[in-house]
Amino acid sequence: MTVCLARRRAALHAPPGPAYRPAGPSEETMAASEPTGAALVGPAKLPAERLFRLADLSALAFTTTSDLESHPDLLGQERASEAIRFGTEIGGRGFNIFAIGASAAQVREAVGGMLREATALKPCPPDWIYVNNFAAPNRPAAISLPPGRGPAFQAAMRHLTEDLRSALPAVFEGEDYQARRSAIENQFRARGEKAFQALGEMAAGKETAILRTPAGFAVAPAREGKVVPPEEFNTWPEERRRTAQQAIQEVERELEQTLRGIPRIEKERRDAVRALDREVASFAIGQLIEEVRAHFSDLPKILAHLDSVRADILDNAQLFVAAGSDEETPLAPLRAALLDRYQVNVLVTCAAADGQAQATTAPVIEELHPTLGNLVGRTEYLSQQGVLVTNFTLIKAGALHRANGGAVLIDARGLLSEPFSWPALKRALTRGEILIEDPGRFLGLAMTATLEPDPIPLDVKVVLFGERILYYLLSSLDPDFSTLFKVLADFEDDTPRTPATEAAMARLVGGIVRDAGFHPFDRGAVARVIEHAARLADDQVRLTLLVERVRDVMAEADHTARDTGRAVVTREDVGAAIKGQIRRAARIEDRSREMILRKIALVDTEGTRVGQLNGLSVMMLGGHSFGRPSRITCRVRPGGGKIVDIEREVELGGPLHSKGVLILSGFLAGRYALDRPMSLYASLVFEQSYGGVDGDSASSTELYALLSALGEIPLRQDLAVTGSVNQLGVVQAIGGVNEKIEGFFDVCAARGLTGTQGVLIPASNVQHLMLREDVVAACAASRFSIYPIATIDEGIALLSGSPAGERGADGTYPAGSVNRRVEERLHQFAEIRRLAAEHADQNASDG
Amino acid sequence: MASEFRYRRVVLTVRGGGLPAPAFRLAAELAHWLELELEGVFLEDEALLALAGHPFAREFSLLGHTWQALDPKRMLEDFRLTAEQTQRLLADAASSLGMASAFSVQRGDLAALAERFLASDILVTVPSAPPAPAESLFRCAAAMMLIPPRPRAAPGPIAAVPDGIGLATATALARRSGETLLLIQPGESEAAPVDLPPDRVRRRRVPTNDAEAIAHAVRAANARLLVIERAAVPNDPAALATACGVPVLIVGDGAEEKASTG
């Protein structure tokens, strides 16, 4: 478990830390002593009204949220709103927007609303379609059409294909076509038969026969139609044999010529049939194509595509004949699919499904799952006969296609966590075009043949939204980032708390109630929500803008009210909801407090100790943070001027904690023993801390313990301390002040409040106090106290009951003061060290 | 085997270079529909063996369009391979229809082959170039189915030029195959009665009885088979089959009698 010394916003950080144990006094001096009692020295405790700031809704007349109008704008996000407006209006290249903010700030919803407003005046972008590229089918052609006309062209081509499926088979089955086709077939068949017939006659005339062999044809000597066997042939006179062989050779030559001529005749036949098909098809399709052309005569690219369609149909008219045969064969679907080449894939359109124009403004698309395919589109595949096939009709649009001409809102974390998506988006923005890419190729996977569709020009405003860390990481690690996302929209986490913003927050609460369908919230409930918003901001003078967390409490309060059958949500319901949230998450907090109460974790809440003090830390687990007291001790002895941070020595301390400890050396060196070397060895430790410690909010506690150990001054154990300190002894603000106070209060309350118990906090943290109701009540009843501390002198006086003391004109501190006792001890250490050095030198010279 | 006709067997005759693959399926379907035995006969042509014995013998290969020497050993090996392939293809086609098939190899000439045929056989063969004396074989058999070089092998009507046993055979084929019956009626001939539901019968009138007109009708209807009386066959049956693009079943000679089974 890590002890986090909570940090306050950007500049202020300081979790409370376990106090180290100052060395110095003997074990005996660390024994309990009596509490200092009445004669307290130091600053006065804070009045109860400084510990919590109530909401002031007196200027807003309403009984319940039903009387409130919704807040019209984004509350407290003027800077981000201005950035979004600027980013959407500016047209330069790379002026895309990165909206950053806490995840609960509802950046996506806010940006989406603003984008829709900003693009409302932009016209609907053109439609984009993909059609077959007849010259290169693997590279589908992209064509832009005026808005809404894509589906019309798609329908026209579908009707054209359907008409041709009826018209062309009718033409090709017609008497005229069949007669001419038969004439062609007969003509070429007759040529082949005539050639074979002549060959046969020639062979017979030369006493030879043509035989069909397994692989082809052969010529044999024949007599009376029968092949002359070798034994008979060999009995012939040589002259006759020679004559017969010459005859065979002549027939073979003729046979070869005839057979070689067959493919040529077949080709001529195919050409003639093809010419006939083109002639017949041309007549059939001419009128149908012209009807389509008439509707799109203003679009040259469409007309050019129709020319290509016409030429292809003429070459492949038989596809329609085969597809129109209505045969239920396994190949029938494949034949019908071949006609898909004439279809139109409407990739994006502003027309509704029924063909009527619907969208009139530029689109705003939200892509919450930006995979590569969802972003830049993809090509799908169908399984046919066990093979994956695709064509241009299976190209699917991505978010960039759908948002083209408008804006697209993308979750940055999702974008960065999806393989290939971020580089693909950068490529699209850099090239200014959308290129559909196949992830299989990136992975080097063996794929079936795929498509390379024409890229589509990109004109889109990309808005990424996500956490701040993503923006800063990309800024520092990706050199392309700053050129592609030039507009930062930084959403605030909180806003100043003024009567105006409290009223605005009340309206925001009213809007949430209406949108979510909650029961109305009464004035008290609204005020409690606003006060909770301040507590979430850890500040009396600021309100959180993490709307999601506010809504969560409201939802639980509504649930509580409904559970008890009330129609209006009250302040008590909100309070119960807040307590319920804490209780559900507080198991570890309860166990931690139990350890202290059972004295397993040693934390005193009464008496005094030398070199020992209660520090405060904040633990953050999930969404819950709570304060926990820790004992910090210190021990000292003569040495070389070194203060040892035991946490750092065992690598449990973070750099900020180490820094805080090192500052203590600077403080000591600047205030004490100015005329002699620092001869101190001190060790500081967070007792019973077994996890990491970071932050410097315990540095003042550590300094008090160190001063106590040096001056052998008992410190009060009924007080706990938080605050960082600088080298001049000024106490500085820390984070998590409310949780820290409440953590110590809970321990004290469990043991019994004595009236002397309390917490020292930096004076600059008073403005952050939004303490729990029971803590405020205890303070109001003087049963617990909060002390604002500005300097170490103030704090040590309160803790020790003795004044710190100021150096007089003689250069010494007043007798009995803390500073006097500390300085005298340091002088003693210096003297001891000097004598030890002399003794060592004497031994060396004697030796 | 039960059949309403005197047909008993479908005999697929194979010579020389074998048959196109669809021929086996077509022969098997014919046997299946008419409930006949199916047999394949491969003829090892003695004339070819005699030619291969000549030292000057060579053949012109249709694959490479080159001349290559012939020798008896290679010729016999080619016969063996072709016969094995024929037997396998026929068995595959038969088993796909749940039938058995027989197969034999015979050495001799066409006349010897003709002696094997019975008057109840339907011969199935492919017209070849130069034309083989198929007619001589046909004289020995009841019917002959000529398969064109690239037959259309897809569902479609059973076409018939209606006349006597031809119409009865076509009607039986249409009934058993589940196809419609397309009656091609030349000139003004009267419509013959058909024992099929009316929606299973289509009629198409053609101007004349010549091969061109019949082929035209067959192609236009995407028919899968033409049944025609031998007497009505134009001069060149092979040309008719080629023009139609589908098998042509030539039946009877007028003397054929229907053998009633019951």
Summarize pLDDT for B12-64 with one digit per residue, the tens: 888 766 677 888 988 999 999 989 999 998 888 888 888 888 989 999 888 88
Three-class HEC string of A354-372 = CCCECCCECCEEEECCCCH
- The DSSP secondary structure of A618-640, one letter per residue, reads EEEETTEEEEEEEEEEEEEEE-S
Q: Which of B67, B155, B239 sits opposite A189 (nearest CB)?
A: B239
Residue among B179, B184, B254 nearest B212 (CA)? B184
Give the other-Cβ count within 10 Å of A170's Cβ: 13
Give the other-Cβ count within 10 Å of A243's Cβ: 14
The per-residue pLDDT for B137 is 54
Q: What tokens does A793 get?
A: 């002198």
Structural domain ending residue among the three candidates B88, B120, B146: B146
| Contact between A329 and B78 using a beta-carbon 8 Å cutoff | no
Q: Is the pLDDT of residue A14 over 50?
A: no
Q: Tokens 């020595």 identify what position? A: A649
Is residue B189 a part of any domain in this protein?
yes
Is residue B172 a part of any domain in this protein?
yes
Q: Which residue type, as a one-letter code, is found at position B90?
A: L
Residue A786 and residue A51 in contact, taking contact as beta carbons nearer than 8 Å: yes
The per-residue pLDDT for A333 is 64
Q: Between these two residues, A524 and A178, which has the higher pLDDT value? A: A524
Euclidean distance between CA atoms A74 and A560, whole angstroms:
29
Crossing angle between the packed helical segments A150-173 and A175-205, to the nearest 10 degrees: 50
Residues B128 and B171 in one domain: no
A520 backbone dihedrals φ, ψ, rounded to 5°: -60, 145
Mean pLDDT confidence for A665-670 = 85
The per-residue pLDDT for A303 is 96
Count of domains for chain B:
2
Structural domain ending residue among the three candidates B115, B146, B177: B146
Is residue B48 a part of any domain in this protein?
yes
| Contact between A214 and B60 using a beta-carbon 8 Å cutoff | no
Is B73 near chain A, with CB under 8 Å? no
pLDDT in tens, B215-242: 888 888 888 999 998 877 777 777 788 8
Half-sphere CA count of A781, side-chain side, radius 13 A: 10
Give A183→chain B minimum CA distance, Å: 8
Q: Which of A193, A211, A252 sits opposite B51 (nearest CB)?
A: A211
Residues B202 and B110 in one domain: no
| Contact between B53 and A213 using a beta-carbon 8 Å cutoff | no
Is residue B256 a part of any domain in this protein?
no
How do beta strands A758-762 and B181-186 pair?
Answer: unpaired
Number of Cβ pairs closer than 8 Å across A and B?
Answer: 120
Q: Tokens 């026969």 identify what position? A: A209
- Which residues of A fall within a CB distance of 8 Å from B55? 230
Q: Which of A186, A200, A214 sits opposite B130 (nearest CB)?
A: A200
| Contact between B75 and A213 using a beta-carbon 8 Å cutoff | yes
pLDDT band at residue A121, thresholds of 50, 70 and 90? confident
Pick from A194, A213, A326, A327 the residue to mutate for testing the B interface (most B CBs within 10 Å): A213
To the nearest whole number, what is the mean pLDDT of chain A?
Answer: 86
Give B205→chain A minimum CA distance, Å: 12
- Which residues of A fall within a CB distance of 8 Å from B216? 175, 178-179, 182
CATH code at position B168: 3.40.50.620
As annotated, the active-site residues of A are 697, 740
| Contact between B130 and A227 using a beta-carbon 8 Å cutoff | no
Residues B136 and B201 in one domain: no
Q: What tokens does A7 get?
A: 């940090």
Residues B46 and B134 in one domain: yes
Largest CA distance in chain A: 157
Q: Which of B55, B60, B79 sits opposite A259 (nearest CB)?
A: B60
- Which residues of A fall within a CB distance of 8 Å from B47? 209, 211, 220, 226-227
Is residue B4 a part of any domain in this protein?
no
Residues B25 and B139 in one domain: yes
- Domain, as residue range, for B191: 158-251
| Contact between B53 and A186 using a beta-carbon 8 Å cutoff | no
Residue among A222, A211, A210 nearest B15 (CA)? A211
| Contact between B58 and A218 using a beta-carbon 8 Å cutoff | yes
Euclidean distance between CA atoms A677 and A640, whole angstroms:
9
Residues B177 and B126 in one domain: no
Residues B124 and B23 in one domain: yes
Give A213→chain B minimum CA distance, Å: 5
Pick from A185, A211, A273, A326 the residue to mutate for testing the B interface (most B CBs within 10 Å): A211
Q: Is the pLDDT of residue B258 over 90?
A: no
pLDDT in tens, A676-734: 777 888 888 888 877 767 678 889 999 999 999 999 999 999 999 999 999 999 999 99
Domains of chain A: 3-25+611-801+810-827 (3.30.230.10), 65-74+493-584 (1.10.8.60), 141-341 (no CATH)
Percent of chain A with pLDDT over 70: 89
Residue A722 and residue A697 in contact, taking contact as beta carbons nearer than 8 Å: yes
Q: Is the pLDDT of residue A747 over 50?
A: yes
| Contact between B16 and A182 using a beta-carbon 8 Å cutoff | no
Mean pLDDT confidence for A415-431 = 94
Euclidean distance between CA atoms A648 and B20, whole angstroms:
91
Is residue B261 a part of any domain in this protein?
no
Q: Which residue type, as a one-letter code, is found at position A309?
A: V
Is residue B106 a part of any domain in this protein?
yes
Is B207 near chain A, with CB under 8 Å? no
Is residue B192 a part of any domain in this protein?
yes
pTM of the model: 0.68
- Which residues of A fall within a CB distance of 8 Å from B58? 218, 252
Crossing angle between the packed helical segments A238-295 and A175-205, to the nearest 10 degrees: 170
Residues B97 and B209 in one domain: no
Residue A368 and residue A424 in contact, taking contact as beta carbons nearer than 8 Å: no
Residue A111 and residue A95 in contact, taking contact as beta carbons nearer than 8 Å: no
Bridge partners (DSSP) of residue A789 are A762
Residues B17 and B126 in one domain: yes
A288 backbone dihedrals φ, ψ, rounded to 5°: -65, -45
Half-sphere CA count of B4, side-chain side, radius 13 A: 11
Compute CA A582 distance to the chain's CA centroid, rounded to the nearest angstrom: 28
Residues B87 and B201 in one domain: no
The distance in angstroms from the start CA to the end CA of chain B is 14
The per-residue pLDDT for A188 is 85
Bridge partners (DSSP) of residue B104 are B41
A85 CB-contact burial (10 Å; exposed 0-12 / middle 13-18 / buried 19+):
middle
Euclidean distance between CA atoms A837 and A278, whole angstroms:
116
Euclidean distance between CA atoms B229 and B161, whole angstroms:
7
ipTM above 0.85, yes or no: no
Residues B26 and B140 in one domain: yes
pLDDT band at residue B143, thresholds of 50, 70 and 90? confident
Residues B132 and B164 in one domain: no
Give A327→chain B minimum CA distance, Å: 7
